[in-house]
Amino acid sequence: MSAITSSATSSAQATGERAAGPAIPVGLRAASPVILLLVLGFLAPLVTVAAYAFATPKSFDVFRSFTLANFAAIVEPSNTVWTSFVWSLCFALATTVLLAIIAYPIAYGLNRMFGKWAGLVSVLFVFPLFVSENVRLYGWVLFFIKNGVMDGALKWLGFSGGPEVLYTPGATLFGMLYVYLPFMLFPMSLGLAMVPRDLVDAARDLGAGRLMIWREIELPLAMPGILIGMLLTFVLGAGAIAESKILGGQSVITIAQDIEIAFTYAQNWPLGSALALLLVVIVSGLALFMLSKLDLDRILGRR
């Protein structure tokens, strides 16, 4: 009789659990804090910016209006905002290409010298990030400014003085190269650390030349880290603003400055949101286009 009662009780409990619905997986419950953080910290601001982009111009009528007037104002022939887009994308592209050329020999040397500890040693290049970017850039202002460190040193050596470097587009590019070097170097060092030295030695023993080893072994195996560094550098460079304001002296107006002006001095949040949304679409579109042209399966070693 007790066995029948126990069986009936178990059946009732199982029926109650089925009626209450499926249980939430343990993994989803464990990841819920991270999911909540991503929703509140990334998705919610992006949705808010997108909503403001379609709001009435020069108003805060968000989520209550829908208009394309902000995007129409951007494409007006009299609007020079496209010049800012071109400058920002050109600076980002130039920074990415130059840093890839500069950082690769450094990362290669670190890996040859320190081996598996190269990633840890490359962290030393990240230490400048603990100091405010603006403070570091103002340090370069003191270096390049007239009668500053460089100019004074050249005059002390008997020269007429240093060239006019500060407040030029070249100074802006230099500032971007300086600021974003760690973002290129660290992923590239990790990528080169993935190249097995035994494989390189075997290829050399089989008669492969230095160029062939680099092209067929080192570059494909290190490509994931190189791609991450280039993508990260390009995305950050497209939104750069401090370098053009501090070192460039606003000789070139970037799109980030136009967005800042729209949100602050002009108090036109819908226009600033439209510019920000357009920048996100252009940068992400270019990044996805470049990735689509690459054989990621071959690069990642999947075939």
pLDDT (0 to 100) of residue 33: 85
Q: CATH number, domain at 287? A: 1.10.3720.10
DSSP 248-302: STTSS--HHHHHHHHHTTS--HHHHHHHHHHHHHHHHHHHHHHHHTS-HHHHTT-
Among residues 70, 42, 44, which one has the least CA distance to residue 269? 70
| Residue 219 counted as domain residue | yes
pLDDT tens-place string over residues 125-155: 777 778 888 899 999 999 988 888 888 888 8
| Residue 271 counted as domain residue | yes
| Residue 212 counted as domain residue | yes
Task: Indicate the pLDDT class of residue 10, thresholds 50, 70 and 90.
Answer: low
| Residue 260 counted as domain residue | yes
Whether the per-residue pLDDT at 12 is higher than 80: the answer is no
| Residue 42 counted as domain residue | no
Q: What is the DSSP-derived secondary structure letter of residue 116?
A: G
pLDDT tens-place string over residues 174-209: 999 999 998 998 888 888 888 888 888 888 888 888
pLDDT (0 to 100) of residue 299: 53
pLDDT tens-place string over residues 14-30: 455 454 456 778 777 78
- Give the chain's domain count: 1
Q: How far, in Å, CA of 189 to CA of 67, rounded?
A: 47
Q: How far, in Å, CA of 168 to CA of 145, rounded?
A: 12
Task: Indicate the pLDDT class of residue 1, thresholds 50, 70 and 90.
Answer: very low
Mean pLDDT score across all residues of the chain: 82
| Residue 141 counted as domain residue | yes
Domain that holds residue 211: 77-299
| Residue 126 counted as domain residue | yes
| Residue 231 counted as domain residue | yes
